[in-house]
Amino acid sequence: MNEVEDAQLLERSRRGEESAFSELFRRYQAGIHRYAVHMCGASTGDDVVQETFLAVLRQRGRTDAPRQTVAGYLFGIARHIVLQRLGSRYEPLTESGDDDVSEVASGALTALEHLTRAETIAAVRAAVQSLPLVYREAVVLCDLQEMEYAAAAGVLQCPIGTVRSRLSRARALLVTKLGAVHATADARRQ
């Protein structure tokens, strides 16, 4: 999306222009909703979206443009709301280095080989939901929202290397979890 246009929409929304706000909302509400649902559960999506955009509107006195992209700015607000809701459930894990296991993680998954698309989605969704929140957040932002690492680092307020590291670990965990799903399904069949 055009960043200049996004910034203009944000500024015009804060001045009370309905059309600009509607367009900004249309562009970002779904992504923020999905992020909130993955992090806090299905019942929180609407609330987080509403609180995020209300926060944007209530900062109407601000004349400076957000330092990051508008997407990063909006997700940053949404994340702040999500973390408030999660409270102590969101505990940053001890992370060591940027060990990259993405080669392993992005390899073929025999576990999904015999599953239908719907089964695959259900299995992956369950695996994502079972990830620790720190890793789940990286997967949601980078893989599901397709946010660039730099933008995700801005939202997560951490170095890009940390984003890469979390994503690699998350993917490795997903592969492991999906393998376990496959093994369980095989055992049931036998």
Partner 1 sequence: MKESEGRPSLDTALRAMAEDEAQLGASAGIEARLLAEVRSIAAARRRRMAIAACAAAAVVLFALWIGSQRFLPSRSSEARVAEVTTDFLPLAYSSVPSTSLQVVRLAVPRTALVSFGLTPPEPLDRTFTDTVLADVLVGDDGLARAVRFVRPAADQEQMP
* Closest among 110, 175, 180 to 139, alpha carbons compared: 175
Residue choice 6, 9, 10, 14 for contact with partner 1 (CB under 8 A)? 14
Q: Is 165 in the site for partner 1 (CB under 8 A)?
A: no
Q: Is 40 in the site for partner 1 (CB under 8 A)?
A: no
CB nearer partner 1, residue 106 or residue 157: 106
Backbone phi and psi for residue 64, each to the nearest 5 degrees, phi listed first: -80, 145
> From residue 123 to residue 162, what is the string marking binding to partner 1 with x (rule CB under 8 A)?
xxx--x----------x---xxxx----------------
CA distance 92 to 132: 9
> From residue 73 to residue 102, what is the string marking binding to partner 1 with x (rule CB under 8 A)?
------------------------------
Are 142 and 163 in contact by the 8 Å Cβ rule? The answer is yes
Radius of gyration of the chain (CA): 19
Could you tell me the smallest distance in angstroms from the CB atom of residue 2 to partner 1? Answer: 21
3-state secondary structure of 28: helix
Q: Assign residue 16 a region (left: φ > 0; alpha: ψ between -120 and 50; beta: otherwise).
A: left
Are 75 and 29 in contact by the 8 Å Cβ rule? The answer is no
CA distance 150 to 3: 15
Give the range of 48-56, 64-72, 74-82, 181-189 binding partner 1 by CB under 8 A: 48-56
Q: Which residues bind partner 1 (CB under 8 A)?
A: 13-18, 21-22, 25, 29-30, 32-34, 37, 45-46, 49-50, 53-54, 57, 60, 105-110, 112-113, 117, 120-121, 123-125, 128, 139, 143-146, 171, 174-175, 178
